[in-house]
Chain A
Amino acid sequence: MKTQEYTVVGTRPVRHDGADKVTGRALYGADFQMAGLLYGHILRSQHAHARIRRIDTSKAEQLPGVKAIVTAGDFPQTPDRLVDLGEGDTPLSYARGNVLAKGKVLYKGHALAAVAATNVHIAEEAAGLIEVEYEALPCVLTAPEAMQDGAPILHDDLKTKEFGEQTGRVSNVAEHFRHVMGDVNAGFAEADVIVEREFHTATVHQGYIEPHNATALWNNDGRILVWCSTQGSFVVRDVTACLLDVPVSRIKVTPMEIGGGFGGKINVYLEPVAALLSKKTGKPVKIVMSRKDVFEGTGPTPGSYIKVKMGARKDGRITAAQAYMAYEAGAYPGSMVAPGAMCVFAAYDISNVVIDGFDVVVNKPSTAAYRAPGATNAAFAAESVVDEIAEKLGADPLDFRLKNAAKEGTRRADGPKYRRIGCVEVIQAMKNHPHYSAPLGGPNRGRGVAVGFWFNVGLPSSCTISVSADGTVNLVEGSTDIGGTRTSIAMQAAEVLGIPAEDVRPTVVDTDSVGFTAVTGGSRTTFATGWAAYEAAQDVVRQMKERAAKIWETEAASVTLERGVFHSADKRLTFPELAAKLDQTGGPVVGRGAVNPRGVGGSFSGCIADVEVDPETGKVTILRFTSVQDAGKAIHPSYVEGQMQGGSVQGIGWALNEEYYMNEAGSMMNSSLLDYRMPTALDLPMIDTVIVEVPNPGHPFGARGVGEANIVPPPGAIANAIYRAAGVRMNRLPMNPPAIMQAIWSQRD
């Protein structure tokens, strides 16, 4: 891949949906209105684990204004089977069970009934009149406890799969897998320094400001129309179709603007319920979650128990690494322990590795993806141990990492060798940054570093581009826009066409109007949907060259396009000039692209954190923070910076304050934004960013996905900084004031 001067890629145009977003005109899911709309409210379990003996909706039905009530019994009564709804085959009963509980409730907040009424207050009141008879059961809330013999069992039909074999053993461990590379015993024997530590991380939530919402209309023609804020319109379509047992063609999902997702708005919670209520009432039904529902009834990320052991020689080379990773899946199997295991040592070239991963169910909400799912937990553990080893060897933390950094050709513990990656470049950029060498004076202050990795995915995306007579183009795509991607996608098309970004009008459309497009997640949107736009633009260029050739009476092969001007011999036409002639040369030009790209690169990220720890209160202040990430090629640098800053701040919140504070009965005590403490503007300094560009040879512009890797290193870096500031190595997240004081006092004793 040669370095190139681009005209549009790498610039910073104003986003196309900007005016709507700053004037309040943009319509998000909760803003949706329609004639005859009814409002839904979900009744949620107050028990963390209980059998449902009886649900009596009769009183609720009589409340004036109530139009329908649904429970799990309203799902089609089809026999249970395995469906492809996630990482592995899931029983349909599990998939439906999380949407509306059947037989048992498995976490406090588990949905078990829903009411549709003429206004939301009546619906809420009616839900309170539904009588539920529970048989409370003991609950289990952490992975280690759930793994013990005699622990309360969540699913009588969940049997442990170990190393790919079904053991037939009923337990809370859905799966145990292991990655093995080389010989760890030999590796540890060779080591001069060995560090082994245990870590615990609490459940945290993605914390998007917009609660989940969905409106569904089960129309008179049998089509089910859905409007919602989602990261994946086609996911909503396919999963809703599966749960309702209807063909996908019956469902049309129109994505509204979305107020944050970070992985938590991929799973389907409300749409099937709204659809069932609509079927019963014959009216459109809108359901919007409360903030409490969001905490208690959606998909936070797993809490975890992780043990990491690493050994290194005096010369600074890591000789062996071992990890034991038990992740809480929540009520149903499917924690992101597998990606976590792939990432835990991903930044390092280590020949001898063993990683054991456990997917464990507990009586908490069923977990969902959260920005680089599984990797942040893992990096907190690994980067703390790396820091301790470097210290014991008397090595500079970044030099130690450089000495062991993963490179092209390094083999990861789960098997594949890396292609071109930017781990070394990221660490080098950290070393060279003025922050790393800036003096940090004063007591109780310390500086820490960490690095992390996350994959990008390819997956399918589609796009069409139509050319208008004035030389502007309409671009239609299906990736819901959480962070400005309609613009980064439009920019890639503009670059190919040689027109300004402003002359591309991108629209995100519904599932009837564009080809299949996978989720906005996995750091794939700018990469893959951008590629679809690139292909669609190439298709437009091919057709326009043919038109120019017709006009100039020459061969299309002789026509070139350079910076928006078509040439052949001494003839030239600008893109707008040629666009004006399309109707005289054969009619409209519509280009299409549909991709399922290979050439996916991963992204490394690193951060430097300066902290001050108050030795009397344990409060940690972030004094300075720098985020470094390999973007491959930053299509729109402002939005790449934005991803880095946003992910960093989520990582800071994860490190210092955020957690599901559960009581022994499995109830979240802090299910409000007051007590689930996310960082505010007052808690932070400016977040400096450095975009490293190690081009991804697989992508037309060299882009890597950048959305996620930046959340991975902050907790590790902050833990390492706290150690230097306060002399304590933290092994729990969050590192909140009480935890820090405990650690300081234990140290003193």
Chain B
Amino acid sequence: MRQVIDNLEQAWPGIRERLLDQGKLRPNISIAVDGEVTPMGLLEPVTPSSEVHFIAAIKGGAPAPDAQRHL
């Protein structure tokens, strides 16, 4: 997935900034591969036939689990 985003950045500069903050996926964004939200984020393997969507994260009403990222 990280490579997908790198490739996207080549074609559409600025998209990486929309998706990542300091190299990590923004907490308000989830990644769905073939209709299924992946817990692996940027490490998720992607095949040539995969369909990838960046969608609003649904987190059960809660703050992101990595709320301590800033510390």
Contacts and interface: CB of A to CB of B under 8 A. Distances in A.
- A and B together in one complex: yes
Interface of A: 81-89, 164, 231-232, 234-235, 238-239, 241-242, 247-248, 263, 266, 336, 338-339, 341-342, 368-369, 373, 414-419, 455, 457-460, 516, 518-519, 521-524, 596-600, 698
A598 B32 contact: no
B68 to A, nearest CB: 5
Given A164-B18, A242-B70, A598 B58 contact: no
Given A88-B27, A524-B60, A414 B53 contact: yes
Given A598-B37, A698-B36, A455 B67 contact: no
B25 to A, nearest CB: 11
B48 interface: no
B63 A85 contact: yes
B23 interface: no
Given A87-B28, A338-B56, A369 B68 contact: no
Contact of A87 (B18, B34, B51, B57): B57
A342 B55 contact: yes
Q: Is the interface of B mostly helix, strand, loop or mixed?
A: loop
B60 A342 contact: no
Contacts of A460: 39, 65
Contacts of A83: 67, 70
A325 to B, nearest CB: 13
Contacts of A239: 63, 67
Contacts of A523: 60
A455 B68 contact: no
B26 A88 contact: yes
B71 interface: yes
Contacts of B59: 87, 457, 459, 518-519, 522
Given A338-B56, A599-B36, A86 B63 contact: yes
Contacts of B4: none
B56 A519 contact: no
Given A81-B70, A85-B67, A415-B53, A458 B37 contact: yes
Contacts of B60: 266, 369, 457, 459, 518-519, 521-524
Contacts of B37: 457-458, 598, 600
A454 to B, nearest CB: 9
Nearest to B66: A84
A342 B56 contact: yes
A164 B66 CA distance: 22
Contacts of B36: 416, 419, 598-600, 698
Contacts of B21: 89
Nearest to A177: B56
The 6 A-B pairs with the shortest beta carbon distances in the complex, nearest first, are A522-B60, A369-B61, A415-B53, A519-B62, A521-B60, A88-B28
Contacts of B57: 87
A521 B61 contact: yes
Contacts of A232: 62
B64 interface: yes
Contacts of B70: 81-84, 242
Contacts of B68: 238, 241-242, 247-248
